[in-house]
């Protein structure tokens, strides 16, 4: 099911020559090259999501972004009078990389996620026609536009804490022809006015799963969220004691801007406790350290990791039930469980 989309006009200054001509052809070529790159990596196997990525232009959502240089961050933008810098801006927009879209006092507060990771997450969300979706972390609005294209804008609600971010996202979405519900508020509280939701997707890192999300989910709903440095996919089912959300992590690592207002994650190196550079250098062990922050001593985490032969992310999971939540290895009721901090 596609959205009834307003068709935006798209014209501007040529990124190579600086002349006042229509840039749609050049942007479209870069856009389609990005889609082909994601497909070549094995992504966008669902034709509906491939169509969404092909038809939603990323450059409308990132009119400017920041790159880190030798003198700190510099701003690239599509209306720069320098044609070389405009060329850099367009190349970055359609590169398969995350983009820093909003800085405040030198701190990154919002970004546009890596497109191939977005494609993986949207595929893992397993949406169906007629589903409603809550997105936590609006950012520039690109992900909300992809969801709106796939499901129709009335089915999509997106929440972000910062009014500057939500105002800009509404403008970007309107320019692209989509008008989902964009709410300024605390993402940890969801958006009860539009609940219940069939799917909830977060694009910000969390120390734990906010209880409001299962409570605002339909029975059988799915929640996909970055926790620690991974992506957990939870199925929600109704019980006599309230909703229970449970599931495993996906195989892929994931690094996002933290959910503002949530308890900060403890950095794995900061809490390594002298367990050794070799272990800290392993990305899977750093994931375990972050996941067990506040619950397991680093040496206990190392013993578990070595005893279980360095488990992959897919063996870990999370359960949210009965007013508590815990992470686990292999079995939610097994010997390796620990409460989630936050």
Residues assigned a catalytic role = 110
Q: Which secondary structure element, helix H or strand E, spans residue 246, and what is its range?
A: strand 242-253
Task: Work out whether strand 197-202 and strand 133-136 pair parallel, antiparallel, or are unpaired.
Answer: parallel
Taking a C-beta distance cutoff of 8 angstroms, is the pair 76, 90 a contact? no
Candidates 138, 70, 136; CA nearest to 102 is 138
Length of the chain: 342
Rounded to 10°, the helix 24-40/47-55 angle is 150
Structure tokens of 86? 């405009």
Tokens of residue 262, six digits: 């949530």
Residue 50 burial (10 A CB sphere; 0-12, 13-18, 19+): middle
Name residues whose C-beta falls within 8 Å of residue 55's C-beta, 6 or more positions apart in sequence: 149
Q: Which tokens go with 159?
A: 């929440």
Tokens of 223: 């929640």
Continuous H helices in the chain? 24-40, 47-55, 83-93, 115-125, 142-151, 163-176, 212-215, 277-280, 283-291, 298-307
Structure tokens at 72: 């700190």
């Amino acid at each position: 099911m596609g959205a009834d989309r307003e068709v935006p006009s798209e014209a501007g200054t040529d990124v190579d020559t600086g002349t006042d001509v229509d840039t749609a052809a050049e942007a479209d070529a870069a856009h389609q090259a990005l889609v082909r790159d994601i497909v070549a990596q094995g992504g966008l196997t669902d034709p509906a999501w491939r169509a969404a990525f092909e038809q939603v232009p990323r450059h409308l959502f990132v009119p400017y972004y920041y790159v880190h240089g030798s003198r700190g961050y510099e701003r690239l933008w599509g209306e720069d009078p320098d044609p070389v810098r405009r060329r850099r801006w367009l190349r970055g927009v359609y590169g398969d990389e995350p983009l820093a879209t909003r800085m405040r006092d030198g701190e990154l507060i919002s970004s546009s996620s890596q497109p191939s990771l977005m494609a993986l997450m949207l595929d893992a969300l397993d949406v169906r026609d007629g589903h409603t979706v809550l997105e936590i972390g609006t950012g520039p609005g690109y992900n909300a536009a992809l969801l709106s294209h796939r499901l129709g804008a009335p089915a999509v609600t997106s929440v972000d804490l910062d009014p500057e971010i939500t105002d800009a996202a509404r403008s970007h979405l309107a320019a692209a022809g989509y008008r989902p519900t964009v709410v300024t508020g605390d993402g940890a509280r969801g958006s009860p006015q539009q609940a219940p939701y069939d799917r909830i997707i977060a694009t910000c890192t969390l120390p734990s799963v906010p209880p409001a999300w299962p409570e605002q989910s339909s029975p059988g709903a799915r929640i996909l969220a970055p926790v620690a440095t991974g992506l957990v996919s939870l199925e929600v089912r109704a019980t006599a004691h309230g909703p229970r959300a449970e599931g495993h992590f996906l195989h892929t690592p994931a690094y996002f801007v933290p959910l503002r207002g949530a308890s900060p994650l403890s950095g794995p190196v900061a809490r390594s406790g002298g367990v050794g550079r070799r272990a800290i250098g392993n990305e899977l062990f750093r994931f375990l350290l972050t996941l067990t922050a506040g619950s397991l001593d680093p040496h206990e985490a190392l013993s578990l990791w070595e005893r279980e032969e360095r488990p992959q992310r897919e063996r870990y999971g999370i359960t949210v039930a009965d007013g508590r939540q815990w992470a686990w290895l292999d079995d939610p009721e097994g010997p390796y469980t620990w409460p989630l901090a936050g």
